[in-house]
Amino acid sequence: MEMRLLALALAAATCTTTSYAEETNRDIEQVIVTGSRFVESIDEVPVSVTVVDRDTIQQQLQVSSELQNLLAIHVPGLAAANGSTSNFGTTLRGRSPLVMIDGVPQSTPLRNGALGMRTLDPDVIERIEVIKGATSIYGNGAAGGIINYITKSAADSEFAAQASVSSRFSAAKFEDSAGLRTQGSVSGTRDKFSFVVSASRDERGVERDAEGDVMGTIYGLSESVTENYFTKLGYRLDDEKSLQLTYNYYEGRQNADLVDVLGSVNEGTKTYALPLSDGDTKLGDAQGPRGNHNLAIKYVDDHLTDNTQMTIDAYGQKIENVFFFSTALSNPEEGYDGGQSMIKSGKKGLRFNFNTQLSWEWVDGTLTYGLDALNDVTSQPLLDGRIWVPEMDMDSLAGYLQTKWILDNDWIFKAGVRRENIDLVVDDYRTLKLCANADTCSVPMDVKGDTLSYEATTYNLALRYHINDHFSPFANYSQGADISDLGGLLRSATVNDIALIQTEASIIDNYEIGFDTHFDNFDFSIAAYKSTSELGTASFYNPKTGVYEPVRAPHKMWGYEFALKYRISESLNVGANYSWVEGKNEKTDEYLDARIISPPKFVAHLDWRPVDNANLALTYYRVGERKRFEPDENGNWGGSFAPVSAYDVVNLSANYRRDNWNFFAGVENLLNEEYFSARAQAFTYSGGAYHTMGLGTTINTGVNYSF
C-alpha cells in the first residue's frame, strides 16, 4: 500500500518525569532517552517516568527472571503481576502500554495478544524506562504509556565476559520442580569496533503453588524452555559518526505433559494441573513464542551541522506467538473439537530523527523533529488453518516536532505536536463459527473488506519549575491516538461490511500534576492524573453466541501514585511506592472491569549491606481489594467482574561477592502465602482456567563469574 506523506508538526511532544530509580549513588546523573528521543537529565522531564536501573534488575534476577514481576514491583501505576507469561489485564494507569526494545515495538497493537512484556532475557537489559500516560511519541499502541527496554552497551575494555548458572525449585514440594538456567555474555571495545554477545537458556521444572500442587498450564511456566540470543555490534566511522547493528532472538515454549483440572471463581475451587495419564496425549502444539526476531540498524551523526545531531533507524521484526488449545474454538459441524490460535506479526520501520540545540543569554532550547514510517502486517490464524482474524496491513507515516525550553535554569517548558496518517487494508473475509458448547455458537458472517484511513493530530504541553534544589512541581497535558486491537473488533463482527464496524481511532486526553523532592538522604515523588477517551476498549459476554464483543464507549480513568526512598546509612536503604487507579464507563456511569482497572498496590523494600561484599534485600508486596460489582441473580460472577480480596507477598534475596565470583540466592513468596492473583480472582474466562493459585515458596540459587 502506498504511504501518504505527512505534514511535519510544529511544536513538540513532551514527557515529564517523576523518577523512582534504584540508584545507589545520587552523584550519578540519571538520564532518559525514551520520552524525548534524545538524552536528557531526568530532572528536566516534566511527565511521570520510572527508571529501573541495572542494579535493581540484577537484584530481581536473584529472585525471578520474570520481567512482569520486576515491573509490577518497581513501577507504580502498573497493574499487579499475575504469575504467568501473559500480561493480559496488566495495564498502565488503566490503559495498554507499548512495549519496546531500544525503541523497536514489541507489542502487537493491531491484535493485542498481551505477550509483549516477555520478549527478551533481563540479563540483556541495562535499564528500563517507563513513560506513563497517553503519548503519541512512538505512534499507535501507547494509550497507557511506553515501556522501553534499553539493552546493554559494550564494555570500555577490549574484552569482558561473565557467565552464570542457577537453579530454581519449589520449597512447598520439591518433586519435579527443579530447573536450570544458564547465561553468558562477552563484550568489549577495540579501536573503532565494539560488541556485545549474550546467550541464555532457562529450563523450568513444574511450578507449584503454596499447597504443593502444580499450577495451571494456561500461560503457565511449568516445564517450559526459554532461549534468548542477543548481539549488538558497533562501529565508529569517525569522531562524529557511528553505525550500530542489533539482533535479538527470543523463544519461550511450554510443552508440558500436564492436563488442567479446572477450578471456578464461583465455586471457590482452584485450577491445578496433573500429569497426563498413560496413553493420553496433550492437545495442541507448545504454547508461547515460536521465535521472535528483532533486527535494527542505527546510524548516528553527532554533528550533521554545528548544532544538530541526526539519527536514522531502520528495523524489522517477526513475531509468532502461539496460544493455548481451547475448546471455545470448536466447531463440531466441521469436525473441530477445539483450536489453537497464533498471532503473526511483521513490522518494518524507518525513522529519521534530528536534534537541534539552541542557546541565548538565559534560554536554552532543543528542537527534536523527524519522520516515522511503519508497515505492520498482523493476523491471528488458527494452527488448523482456519482464520480467526484476517490479515491487517497497516502503513503509517508520521511527522513530529518536539520542543524543550529551559528558562533561567529553573523553568522547563515543553510543547509538541505529531501528525499521523494511517492506511489499513483488510481484504474480504468470513468470521468463524465458534461454539462454546453444543447450544451456544456464534453466527459466521461474510464481511466486505476495505481500506481504512485514519488521520490524527495530537498535542503535548508540560511545565516543570525548579523552585530550589529540593522541590520541583510539574504539570502536563498529553494526547495519544490509538487504533489498538482492531483485530478484536474484526473477529467479532456482526455486520457484513468493514465500513460499518466501529473502527474509529480513539483519542486519549491525559492530564497530570505532581512534584519531586530531593534531599541528601530522602527522595519523594507524587503524581495525580486523569485520562479520558470518547472510545474505550471494554467488552461484554454475549450468552447467545459465547463471544466477547467490544464496547466502544467513553472511558474515564483517574488515580494517583507516589514513590519514596530514604537512605538510613551508607549500608541501609528503604523505599516504598503506592498506586491507586479507578475508571468508569461515562455513558452508563458504571465501573470498568478488571481487564482495565487493577486494585491498589503497595510495595516496600529494604536493602542492607552488612559488609562491603555482601547484600541483603527484602521486598513486601501488597495488592489491595477492589469490589465494585454485584453477582447475577444466581449469585455468580461473569467476565472479569468478580471481586478482588487483598493479599501479601514477601520476597528475599542475598548475594556474596568474592574476587570475580558472585554467589546469590533468592526466595519468592518467603512466607508461602496462599493467595490468588488479582487477575485469577477477577477473571472467569476459559472455564476457570485463570483461577490458579499464586506461586508458593520458590528458591532460586546460583553463581556468577566475571572476567
Mean pLDDT for the stretch of residues 155-159:
94
- Residue 17's pLDDT is 37
Residue 27 has pLDDT above 70, yes or no: no
Rounded Cα–Cα distance for residues 585 and 554 (Å): 6
For the chain, the residue count is 707
Mean pLDDT for the stretch of residues 493-516:
85
Among the listed residues 64, 59, 54, 56, the one whose alpha carbon sits nearest the alpha carbon of residue 226:
64
Residue 522's CB is within 10 A of a number of other CB atoms, namely 12
Task: Name the residue type at position 123.
Answer: D
Is the pTM higher than 0.85?
yes
- Whole-Å CA distances, 243 to 233, 296, 633: 8, 11, 65
- Whole-Å CA distances, 342 to 49, 269, 397, 702: 33, 30, 27, 35
Mean pLDDT for the stretch of residues 539-550:
57
Q: What are the grid coordinates assigned to 366, written together?
A: 532543543
Q: What are the grid coordinates assigned to 11, written together?
A: 511544536
- Residue 547's pLDDT is 54
- What is the pLDDT of the chain when averaged over all its residues? 89
Residue 136 has pLDDT above 80, yes or no: no
Greatest mean pLDDT among 89-93, 94-98, 168-172, 635-639: 168-172
Torsion angle (degrees, nearest 10) of CA 253, 255, 258, 262: 50
| Confidence band, pLDDT 50/70/90 cuts, at residue 2 | very low
Which of 137-141, 327-331, 524-528, 597-601 bottoms out in mean pLDDT, i.e. has the lowest? Answer: 137-141
Contact 398, 376 (CB under 8 A): no
- Residue 590's pLDDT is 93
Residue 319 has pLDDT above 60, yes or no: yes
Residue 503 has pLDDT above 50, yes or no: yes
- Residue 480's pLDDT is 87
Strand order of the β-sheet with 258-261 is 214-215, 272-275, 258-261
475 bridge partner residues: 463, 513
Q: What is the pLDDT of residues 573-624, one digit of tens each?
A: 999 999 999 999 999 999 999 989 999 999 999 999 999 999 999 999 999 9
- Residue 4's pLDDT is 34
Rounded Cα–Cα distance for residues 262 and 271 (Å): 5
More confident residue, 25 or 162: 162
Q: Per residue, what are the HEC states of 213-267? A: CEECCCCCCCCEEEEEEEEEEEEECCCCEEEEEEEEEEEEEECCCEEEECCECCC
Torsion angle (degrees, nearest 10) of CA 150, 151, 156, 160: 150
Residue 518's CB is within 10 A of a number of other CB atoms, namely 17
Residue 455 has pLDDT above 50, yes or no: yes
Q: What is the pLDDT of residues 647-691, one digit of tens each?
A: 999 999 999 999 999 999 999 999 999 999 999 999 987 778 889
Rounded Cα–Cα distance for residues 380 and 624 (Å): 35
- The β-bridge relationship of strands 145-151 and 97-101 is parallel
Q: What is the pLDDT of residues 414-439, one digit of tens each?
A: 999 999 999 999 999 999 988 877 77
| Confidence band, pLDDT 50/70/90 cuts, at residue 538 | low
- Residue 57 has φ and ψ, to the nearest 5°, of -60, -45
Rounded Cα–Cα distance for residues 382 and 331 (Å): 13
- Whole-Å CA distances, 57 to 65, 71, 116, 351: 9, 10, 18, 29
| Cell 465500513, residue located | 499
| Confidence band, pLDDT 50/70/90 cuts, at residue 631 | very high
Among the listed residues 704, 11, 8, the one whose alpha carbon sits nearest the alpha carbon of residue 367:
11
More confident residue, 164 or 107: 164
* Chain center to CA of 475: 25
Rounded Cα–Cα distance for residues 192 and 274 (Å): 56
- Residue 278's pLDDT is 82
Mean pLDDT for the stretch of residues 41-53:
87
Residue 357 has pLDDT above 80, yes or no: yes
Mean pLDDT for the stretch of residues 494-506:
79
- Residue 87's pLDDT is 83
Residue 1 has pLDDT above 50, yes or no: no
31-223+232-275+296-666+676-706 placed in CATH 3.30.70.20: no
Rounded Cα–Cα distance for residues 523 and 521 (Å): 7
Domain boundaries, the chain: 31-223+232-275+296-666+676-706
Contact 43, 523 (CB under 8 A): no
| Confidence band, pLDDT 50/70/90 cuts, at residue 272 | very high
Contact 120, 147 (CB under 8 A): no
| Cell 520520552, residue located | 35
| Confidence band, pLDDT 50/70/90 cuts, at residue 11 | very low
Q: What is the pLDDT of residues 363-406, one digit of tens each?
A: 999 999 999 999 999 999 999 999 999 999 999 999 999 999 99
- Residue 26's pLDDT is 39
Residue 78 has pLDDT above 90, yes or no: yes
User: Running DSSP on this structure, what letter comes out for residue 685?
Assistant: -
